[in-house]
Amino acid sequence: MTELDAGVLVTATEVDVPLTAVPAGQVVAGSPATGSVDLDEDMGIGVWEMTPGAMSDTEIDEVFVVVAGRATVKFTDPSLPAIDLQPGSIVRLEAGMRTVWTVRETLRKVYLA
């Protein structure tokens, strides 16, 4: 699936998300893999997944809802506290934020970017 058709039910936990290894320069621990599927490119809606491990990232403007898994996101900005993610967590990130994602249980989120 690459586009969500109007009136079609999709279960976020069942969308097929192809995964690829995180580039070595971003790996902090383990052997994480990530992937995403755009559900509506025009609206910037999609599903993203990361397997256990840790990786660094530079964020884009995004709001997301966690639908599965558990993780911690730490910010390189010391004024921002780390956040623990679990199903139901809703988070807003701003472009340019530098983060480290540590996933304990495969994390899946639905995002609007």
Q: Could you report the per-residue pLDDT of 55-89, keeping only the tens digit for each?
A: 999 999 999 999 999 999 999 999 999 999 999 99
Cβ pair 105, 70 in contact under 8 A: yes
Span 98-109, pLDDT tens digits: 999 999 999 999
Could you tell me the CATH superfamily of domain 20-112?
Jelly Rolls (2.60.120.10)
- Provide the residue ranges of all domains of the chain, joining segments of one domain with +: 20-112
User: What is the pLDDT at residue 28?
Assistant: 98
**CA end-to-end span of the chain:** 18
The region, left, alpha or beta by phi > 0 then psi within -120 to 50, assigned to residue 69 is: left
Neighbours of 113 (CB within 10 A): 17
Spatial CA neighbour of 35 closest among 54, 16, 53: 16
